[in-house]
Chain A
Amino acid sequence: MLDFPRWKVWSIWLVVAACILLGVPSLISGTSLADRYPAWLPQYKVNLGLDLAGGSHLLLEADARDAQKQRLQTMEDAVATELRRDPRIEIGDVSTAEGRVAFMVRDPAQVDAAVGRLRRMTQPVGITGTRDWDVEVMDLTRIVMTPTASGSEQALKNAMGVARDVVRRRIDPGGTKEITVITQGGNRILVQVPGVEDPEALKTLIGQTARLEFKLVDQSANPEDVQQGRAPPGGQVLPMADGSGFIAVKRRVMVSGEQLIDAKQGYDQDGRAVVDITFNTAGARRFGRVTQDNVNKPFAIILDDKVLSAPNINEPILGGRAQVSGNFTVQSANDLAVSLASGKLPVKLNVIEERTVSAELGADSIRKGGIASVAATLAVMLFILITYGRFGVYANIALVVNALMILGIMALFYATLTLPGIAGFVLTIGAAVDANVLINERIREELRRGRRTLDALETGYKEASTAIFDANITNTIAAALMMYFGSGPIRGFAVVLLIGIITSVFTAVNFTRMLVAFWVRRARPKQLNI
């Protein structure tokens, strides 16, 4: 009991001091003391969860149907581009119905060549030899391309990675905010933005796929057919964004949003809000050529399969700059500009969970939680003091050290403190004395059995240790399962419990034992008042 080697004393003090040093910045954060805290000391601080800091939490899920649709459209464009190259292979209309890309090859002699070129476009998936698309010939001249399951899975995975980056760029174009954007479980993205109290603005930004396309208007189409949704050959019918009916456009894409390098909100000559876009070199060249060939014909500006506007090509547009017009407000034009500049979302994202807390409510929770924590600590300390006297003082010192250690370790690991976490903290304050209660009760018992002072202390610490160990394992199991299964706030609760269990065993067993040993060595008590 009294045998405390110097290295042990030093390591205990070292651990205690380090944890307290790490815990202090979080404790004084937001008070005037924070300004006077020396800059050369560690500045680790506990991360506040959104329920305390205020902000928005959004869970987004990839729309599986849209993901497949976009993939088919991309392949449709790729097929058309590939087979148009020299040696050109003439094909009929490409269909993307029934989840596959299908078209006729006009000259049956070219079917094999077409299949060969298309197969080269497909990519292997993993190491099993599977490819991302199956290419088959049906009825001698029809080529059908079907996405494989593993190919779709791989594509979704890639799409989610891109989507995550796009979402981040849209919410935080400057890259300066402390936002969290992470993928979860294969088809989800978690977005946490502190300080944003109205998630509507976020949802507008994220909700737009922002697939921008320029297509020529099909003037040959019969207007009645168009209003009934019947597309002319080689064309498609799309709704107008303002709900004013339908318009027929050619399937072939002139240029798309992928070929632009910049988008900004601006104004047209009449002072209406528009989005000014700049194409990259290839896009500019292509846009220039198509506009040159189609002067005085209208073209459609299409955003997410809706036609924003269909202006006339008055003259060839050669500089690689264009204006997207379409009943914008300054805000919506600005949103679209941000969305376009950040790239299109490779898959549409749906909001499946949304939680917002205002900064005031968060601050109120911190204030009340803080008051409750202090009151809880004082109440427990008073109770332990009148119950155990001198040994209560040691347990109380351990309790305060324990509280600081929890903060310190949380700060060190960048753990997040949530509102249930504060509840976990208060609970830990109440429960942390348990180890000391076990020890002290055991010492009382041993004294009653007639053991002498030193012997009772020794036996008390020794015999209580198995109960302390076993009892804390049960809490550890519960807390670990909360970590594994729990979502955000619950995980915050479990983190505090877990850290609290570890620190409380350390402070209650090792730390108080050292304090008791110092006292016994100094005072050599004949009797214990416990």
Chain B
Amino acid sequence: MKLLKLVPDNTNIDFMRWRNFALLLSLAATIASLVLIGVRGLNLGIDFVGGQQVRVSFAQPVTIEQLRARVATLGVGDATIQEFGGGKGYVIRLPRPDGPDAAANAVVTKVRAFLPTAFPGAVVSAGESVSGKVSQELAKDGALAILFAMIGIAAYIWIRFEWQFGVGALVTLFHDVAMTLGFFSLTQLPVDLNVVAAVLTIVGYSLNDTVVIFDRIRENLRKFRKMAIVPLLNQSLNETLSRTIVTSLSILLALAALLLLGPDVIFGLTIAIFLGIFIGTYSSIYISAPMLVLLGVQPDSFLRVEDKDQPQEQPA
């Protein structure tokens, strides 16, 4: 049986040739992302700003304008309406009214009761109401979780490898998180609790890739002590390239099935991770590795102290 080889044997791609260009490009993209987030902002869902959300499906297609006009008559504030399922399903989001929490719940009740009377056959399939207090806590917890995950993983890499690797990992993660959030700012897809889970997953999986490459760099640093750092990085990247491609592809295949066939409620979560796999694969090759050159990793970084006096092994 002839096996599929996406990456030919013994590739010798000079990845590091474009390393400064790639670093600059990534830096520009990261800054652009941050500016975008700052200017355009994120479309924060009710999980993080409070409010109510009702999910409704209609028997007959209804236009967004019709729906908006009818909801406006209720006098419950400015509705944000998002469509799913070809004009038959909508998510209606309403701002949190001022005053006590009890008033907020009353709005959902009102909308729930109103929709089936205004549009016969309408079914409210989900309703959510989050108070300002809870949403603040959720936002705080989400931000803390992402921050701790980045620091925790970078610290682990530092302990297992060297400080340069830890810093490289942290920079990579910062890039990945900024790019993912930049995507959400650009598309204005709603950012809910699921997106926090997605970002954490990206943090985990992006570093998964990076660690495999770092592991190979460490191994080669120990093996080829006279080799210059740039060719050594190139060799390590080439050796792990096939694995990077196969693993990323199998994750993307699985996620594609979920994107195409899965429930639309978790579309945000899935699209974020799907995108994150691309960003993570790119960043582990073009940010993590070049950062090591920038931070001056030397072959003797991994020698035990007593080894340093011993005569060095020749490159194989």
**Residues in A lying within 8 Å of B, measured CB to CB:** 51, 59, 61, 198-200, 203, 350-358, 360-361, 364-365, 368-369, 371-373, 375-377, 379-380, 383-384, 386-389, 419-420, 422-423, 426-427, 429-431, 433-434, 437-438, 441, 444-445, 448, 463, 466-467, 470-479, 481-482, 484-487, 489-490, 493-494, 497, 529-530
Q: Give the chain A neighbours of B197 by CB distance below 8 A.
A: 420, 482, 486, 489-490, 493-494
B71 CB–A CB distance under 8 Å: no
Q: Give the chain B neighbours of A445 by CB distance below 8 A.
A: 239
Given A423-B258, A470-B160, decide whether A478 and B203 contact each other with a Cβ distance below 8 A: yes
Question: Given A51, A368, A471, A493, which contacts B212 in the complex, CB threshold below 8 Å?
Answer: A471
Question: A377's closest neighbor in chain B, by CB?
Answer: B254
Q: Give the chain A neighbours of B93 by CB distance below 8 A.
A: none
Given A352-B101, A530-B3, decide whether A368 and B193 contact each other with a Cβ distance below 8 A: no
Q: Give the chain A neighbours of B194 by CB distance below 8 A.
A: 420, 489-490, 493
Most A CB atoms within 10 A — which of B9, B100, B131, B254?
B254
B127, chain A: closest CB distance, angstroms: 5
Q: Please count the residue pairs between chain A and chain B whose beta carbons lie under 8 angstroms apart in the complex.
A: 239
Q: Give the chain A neighbours of B211 by CB distance below 8 A.
A: 467, 470-471, 473-474
- C-alpha spacing A360/B57, complex, angstroms: 11
Give the 3 A-B residue pairs with the shortest CB-CB distance, closest first.
A430-B254, A478-B204, A430-B251
Question: By the criterion CB–CB under 8 Å, are A387 and B124 in contact?
Answer: no
Using a Cβ–Cβ cut-off of 8 Å, how many residues does chain B contribute to the interface with A? 81
Question: By the criterion CB–CB under 8 Å, are A474 and B208 in contact?
Answer: yes
Given A376-B258, A479-B204, A481-B148, decide whether A59 and B246 contact each other with a Cβ distance below 8 A: no
A126, chain B: closest CB distance, angstroms: 28
Given A448-B10, A481-B149, A485-B141, decide whether A490 and B193 contact each other with a Cβ distance below 8 A: yes
B129 CB–A CB distance under 8 Å: yes
Q: Which of B242-262 contact A (CB under 8 A)?
A: 242-243, 246-247, 249-258, 260-262
- C-alpha spacing A486/B145, complex, angstroms: 8
Question: By the criterion CB–CB under 8 Å, are B133 and A361 in contact?
Answer: no
Q: Which of B134-188 contact A (CB under 8 A)?
A: 134, 138, 141-142, 144-145, 148-149, 152-153, 156-157, 160
- C-alpha spacing A355/B46, complex, angstroms: 11
Q: Give the chain A neighbours of B100 by CB distance below 8 A.
A: 350
A352, chain B: closest CB distance, angstroms: 4
Question: By the criterion CB–CB under 8 Å, are B148 and A357 in contact?
Answer: no
Given A441-B242, A477-B153, decide whether A423 and B266 contact each other with a Cβ distance below 8 A: yes
Given A474-B156, A481-B148, A490-B197, decide whether A422 and B101 contact each other with a Cβ distance below 8 A: no
Stretch from B25-33, B102-110, B306-314 at the A interface: B102-110
Question: Given B124, B148, B207, which contacts A358 in the complex, CB threshold below 8 Å?
Answer: B124
B273 CB–A CB distance under 8 Å: yes
- C-alpha spacing A352/B126, complex, angstroms: 17
9 further A-B pairs in the complex, CB-CB below 8 A; given A352-B133, A419-B263, A485-B145? A59-B134, A200-B109, A356-B126, A356-B127, A360-B123, A376-B257, A471-B215, A477-B153, A487-B193
Given A437-B250, A478-B149, decide whether A472 and B208 contact each other with a Cβ distance below 8 A: yes
Question: B152's closest neighbor in chain A, by CB?
Answer: A477
Q: Give the chain A neighbours of B207 by CB distance below 8 A.
A: 471, 474
Question: By the criterion CB–CB under 8 Å, are A529 and B1 in contact?
Answer: yes
Question: B141's closest neighbor in chain A, by CB?
Answer: A485
Question: Given B105, B109, B242, B247, which contacts A433 in the complex, CB threshold below 8 Å?
Answer: B247
Q: Give the chain B neighbours of A361 by CB distance below 8 A.
A: 55, 125-126, 265
A139, chain B: closest CB distance, angstroms: 38
Most B CB atoms within 10 A — which of A386, A387, A448, A471?
A471
A4, chain B: closest CB distance, angstroms: 26
B246, chain A: closest CB distance, angstroms: 5
Interface string of B253-293 (1 = CB under 8 A from A): 11111101111011001100100000000000000000000
Question: By the criterion CB–CB under 8 Å, are A368 and B263 in contact?
Answer: yes
A-B contact pairs, 21 of them (CB 8 A): A203-B105, A354-B128, A355-B127, A371-B262, A372-B258, A372-B260, A376-B257, A379-B253, A387-B246, A422-B266, A426-B258, A427-B201, A431-B251, A434-B250, A441-B243, A471-B211, A478-B153, A486-B196, A489-B197, A490-B194, A490-B196
Question: By the criterion CB–CB under 8 Å, are A470 and B215 in contact?
Answer: yes
- C-alpha spacing A388/B242, complex, angstroms: 12
Question: By the criterion CB–CB under 8 Å, are B212 and A372 in contact?
Answer: no
- C-alpha spacing A198/B219, complex, angstroms: 60
B260, chain A: closest CB distance, angstroms: 8
**What does DSSP make chain A's interface, helix, strand, loop or mixed?**
helix
Question: By the criterion CB–CB under 8 Å, are A372 and B257 in contact?
Answer: yes
A188, chain B: closest CB distance, angstroms: 9
- C-alpha spacing A478/B197, complex, angstroms: 9
Question: A368's closest neighbor in chain B, by CB?
Answer: B263
- C-alpha spacing A369/B101, complex, angstroms: 34
**Residues in B lying within 8 Å of A, measured CB to CB:** 1, 3-6, 9-10, 55, 100-102, 105, 108-109, 112, 123-131, 133-134, 138, 141-142, 144-145, 148-149, 152-153, 156-157, 160, 193-194, 196-197, 200-201, 203-205, 207-209, 211-212, 214-216, 219, 239-240, 242-243, 246-247, 249-258, 260-263, 265-266, 269-270, 273
Question: By the criterion CB–CB under 8 Å, are A471 and B269 in contact?
Answer: no
Question: By the criterion CB–CB under 8 Å, are A466 and B249 in contact?
Answer: no
Question: By the criterion CB–CB under 8 Å, are A427 and B273 in contact?
Answer: yes
**What does DSSP make chain B's interface, helix, strand, loop or mixed?**
helix
A204, chain B: closest CB distance, angstroms: 11
B32, chain A: closest CB distance, angstroms: 26
Q: Give the chain B neighbours of A198 by CB distance below 8 A.
A: 112
- C-alpha spacing A329/B266, complex, angstroms: 42
Question: Given A350, A477, A482, which contacts B156 in the complex, CB threshold below 8 Å?
Answer: A477
Given A350-B100, A360-B125, A467-B216, decide whether A389 and B3 contact each other with a Cβ distance below 8 A: yes
Given A419-B263, A426-B254, decide whether A358 and B125 contact each other with a Cβ distance below 8 A: yes
Question: By the criterion CB–CB under 8 Å, are A350 and B126 in contact?
Answer: no
Q: Give the chain B neighbours of A433 by CB distance below 8 A.
A: 247, 250
Question: Given B127, B160, B212, which contacts A354 in the complex, CB threshold below 8 Å?
Answer: B127
Q: Give the chain A neighbours of B258 by CB distance below 8 A.
A: 372, 376, 423, 426
Q: Give the chain B neighbours of A386 by CB distance below 8 A.
A: 3-4
Question: By the criterion CB–CB under 8 Å, are B149 and A441 in contact?
Answer: no
- C-alpha spacing A445/B243, complex, angstroms: 11
Q: Give the chain B neighbours of A487 by CB distance below 8 A.
A: 138, 141, 193
Question: By the criterion CB–CB under 8 Å, are B6 and A427 in contact?
Answer: no
Question: A358's closest neighbor in chain B, by CB?
Answer: B125
Question: By the criterion CB–CB under 8 Å, are A351 and B3 in contact?
Answer: no
Question: B140's closest neighbor in chain A, by CB?
Answer: A485
Question: By the criterion CB–CB under 8 Å, are B193 and A353 in contact?
Answer: no
- C-alpha spacing A467/B219, complex, angstroms: 10
Question: B249's closest neighbor in chain A, by CB?
Answer: A383
B53, chain A: closest CB distance, angstroms: 9
Question: By the criterion CB–CB under 8 Å, are A358 and B126 in contact?
Answer: yes
A206, chain B: closest CB distance, angstroms: 11
Question: Given B125, B205, B261, which contacts A357 in the complex, CB threshold below 8 Å?
Answer: B125
Question: By the criterion CB–CB under 8 Å, are B105 and A354 in contact?
Answer: yes
Given A369-B263, A482-B200, decide whether A427 and B255 contact each other with a Cβ distance below 8 A: yes
Q: Give the chain A neighbours of B270 by CB distance below 8 A.
A: 423
Q: Give the chain A neighbours of B142 by CB distance below 8 A.
A: 485
A521, chain B: closest CB distance, angstroms: 22
Question: A472's closest neighbor in chain B, by CB?
Answer: B208
Q: Give the chain B neighbours of A431 by CB distance below 8 A.
A: 205, 208, 247, 250-251, 254
Question: By the criterion CB–CB under 8 Å, are B243 and A368 in contact?
Answer: no
B273, chain A: closest CB distance, angstroms: 6
Question: By the criterion CB–CB under 8 Å, are A484 and B145 in contact?
Answer: yes
